[in-house]
């Protein structure tokens, strides 16, 4: 239990630090550009602790599901309105909503702060402020991934036997148990019958030299009828062994090594089976390898983010139907915490890989969370950062076109008009969060 709590603690600290640094990514450029920032908060809901430093209140709130930086003057007044006398006068429901937001925004602005409002910034400064948070998450992820790769290493699978399976499992694999347990009636595995031992390194299969585990598995899968000849290095001596392969149902994996689901159920295929597991060794990587790995992880993360509606349908089918939970689907803070507990319990247990390997796995998990925050916040919808960025870009286009055509400056884009959509997105995000938390409780993803 203690090992699991260590894992949870690492994840909680990592998430809290990531949120704080994300908001600092907004705070620092906002202050640098002269915008008055009244609040810097981690979490939402009731304030449980706060301290004022200068004109800014820094604090923690009760619900640790994000954070915010409050800048004055986020919404501009309507053209022709006096920002100090703004009143809600529109008759339409959505228009009243926008006018109310403008009124509340104007009430935050004291006369002496009239030139320190967000909406008066140039478009490029608005973009810098709003991108500051997501870019900070990208930097955090890059630093963490780089640290793990260069200081600890990247796991590489070697053709050295770490375990010899005792049987040919007759059960059907599932997401929770990719390799079914041995039953008393299951026959001995070909590896055990052939005399393979833990520590043996496979050097050739059917007379063909091999140096990687992928080459070994390819030879096993492609083997036809008849015995298979293996040559292994055992304590410096080459030993020839003969095995008669069996067949079993095995999970189907995609090109990235992730289990494939078919209609919510783990896809399986019948394959040749020898019955040995390789060794996984961490190999330190050069700094030049870091950008490629970050890009690879970011591409996978972006793919998941762009398919959120599809993924959420899968989550609902898993919770309310009989489908398996997609291991590559989205997860809530509850699921991430459970993952940290599981990683800590297994990695730091008696049969685990040890402290360094477990910490590296947990740090990589925090890095992937930061990549997810980066990609998710770039979605071009309010209240996400990407929505404000799109508004600033549209403002730059309008002002640039006005200059080219010799027309008057059209002024800042009225982002308040998009508030109905922002509220709808907020409700949708809340519902998604509730569903994911429920799914992570009743049908969690197993690590």
Give the predicted TM-score (pTM) of the model: 0.82
Any idea what DSSP says for residue 259?
B
Those residues of the chain that have pLDDT short of 70 are 79-97, 256, 349-352, 447
273 vs 247: CA distance, rounded Å: 5
51 Cα distance to chain centroid? 32
Is 23 tagged catalytic? yes
Q: What is the pLDDT of residue 85?
A: 47
Instruction: Residue 242: count other Cβ atoms within 10 Å of its Cβ.
Output: 12
Any idea what DSSP says for residue 38?
E
Q: What is the pLDDT of residue 274?
A: 93
Q: What is the pLDDT of residue 447?
A: 63
Nearest alpha-carbon partner for 166 in 140, 200, 192: 192
- Give the DSSP per-residue string, 41-89: EEEEEEEEEEEEETTEEEEEEEEEEEEEEEES--SPPPTT--TTS----
**In 175-232, alpha helices (H):** 190-194, 213-222
Nearest alpha-carbon partner for 314 in 442, 439, 138: 439
Q: What is the pLDDT of residue 94?
A: 58
> Domain ranges in the chain?
140-153+294-447, 156-283
The torsion region of residue 88 among left (phi > 0), alpha (psi -120 to 50) and beta comes to beta
Q: What is the pLDDT of residue 86?
A: 45
385 vs 126: CA distance, rounded Å: 11
* 245 and 223 Cβ atoms separated by less than 8 Å: yes
Domain 156-283 CATH class label: mainly beta
- Phi then psi for 439, rounded to 5 degrees? -60, -40
Q: What is the pLDDT of residue 350?
A: 60
54 vs 28: CA distance, rounded Å: 14
Nearest alpha-carbon partner for 119 in 403, 416, 424: 416
- Cis omega before residue 383 (within 30°)? yes
Q: What is the pLDDT of residue 81?
A: 58
Q: What is the pLDDT of residue 146?
A: 97
* 40 and 56 Cβ atoms separated by less than 8 Å: yes
Q: What is the pLDDT of residue 180?
A: 87
Q: Out of 23, 55, 107, 310, which one is annotated catalytic?
A: 23
141 vs 249: CA distance, rounded Å: 38
* 169 and 181 Cβ atoms separated by less than 8 Å: yes
* 210 and 202 Cβ atoms separated by less than 8 Å: yes
* 241 and 201 Cβ atoms separated by less than 8 Å: no
CA torsion sign for 438, 440, 444, 445 is positive
155 vs 157: CA distance, rounded Å: 7
Nearest alpha-carbon partner for 76 in 398, 377, 404, 379: 398
């Amino acid at each position: 239990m203690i090992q699991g709590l260590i894992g949870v603690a690492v994840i909680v600290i990592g998430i809290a630090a990531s949120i704080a640094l994300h908001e600092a990514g907004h705070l620092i450029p906002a202050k640098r550009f002269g915008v008055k920032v009244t609040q810097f908060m981690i979490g939402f809901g009731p304030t449980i602790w706060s301290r004022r430093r200068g004109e800014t209140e820094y604090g923690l709130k009760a619900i640790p599901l994000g954070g915010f930086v409050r800048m004055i003057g986020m919404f501009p007044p309507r053209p022709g309105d006096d920002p100090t006398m703004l009143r809600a006068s529109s008759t339409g429901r959505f228009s009243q909503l926008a006018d109310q937001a403008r009124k509340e925004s104007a009430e935050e602005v004291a006369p002496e702060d009239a030139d320190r409002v967000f909406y008066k910034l140039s478009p490029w400064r608005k973009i810098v402020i709003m991108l500051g948070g997501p870019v900070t998450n990208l930097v955090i992820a890059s630093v963490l991934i780089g640290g793990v790769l260069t200081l600890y290493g990247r796991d590489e699978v070697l053709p050295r036997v770490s375990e010899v399976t005792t049987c040919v499992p007759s059960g059907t694999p599932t997401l929770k148990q990719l390799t079914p347990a041995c039953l008393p009636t299951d026959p001995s595995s070909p590896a055990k019958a052939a005399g393979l031992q833990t520590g043996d390194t496979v050097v050739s299969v059917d007379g063909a030299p091999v140096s990687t585990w992928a080459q070994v598995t390819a030879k096993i899968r492609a083997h036809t009828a008849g015995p298979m000849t293996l040559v292994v290095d055992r304590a410096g001596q080459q030993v020839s062994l003969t095995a008669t392969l069996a067949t079993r149902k095995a999970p189907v994996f995609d090109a990235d090594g992730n289990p494939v689901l078919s209609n919510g159920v783990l896809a399986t295929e019948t394959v040749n089976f020898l019955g040995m597991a390789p060794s996984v060794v961490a190999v330190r990587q050069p700094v030049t390898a870091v950008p490629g790995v970050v890009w690879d992880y970011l591409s996978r993360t972006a793919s998941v983010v762009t398919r959120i509606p599809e993924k959420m349908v899968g989550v609902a089918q898993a919770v309310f139907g009989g489908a398996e939970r997609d291991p590559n689907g989205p997860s809530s803070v509850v699921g991430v915490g459970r993952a940290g507990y599981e990683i800590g319990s297994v990695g730091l247990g008696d049969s685990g890989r040890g402290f360094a390997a477990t910490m590296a796995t947990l740090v990589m998990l925090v890095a992937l969370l930061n990549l997810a925050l980066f990609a998710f916040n770039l979605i071009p919808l309010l209240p996400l950062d990407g929505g404000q960025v799109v508004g600033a870009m549209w403002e730059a286009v309008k002002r640039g076109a006005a200059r080219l055509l010799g027309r008057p400056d059209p002024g800042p884009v009225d982002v308040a008009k998009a508030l109905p959509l922002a509220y709808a997105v907020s409700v949708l995000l809340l519902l998604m969060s509730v569903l994911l938390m429920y799914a992570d409780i009743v049908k969690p993803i197993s690590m």
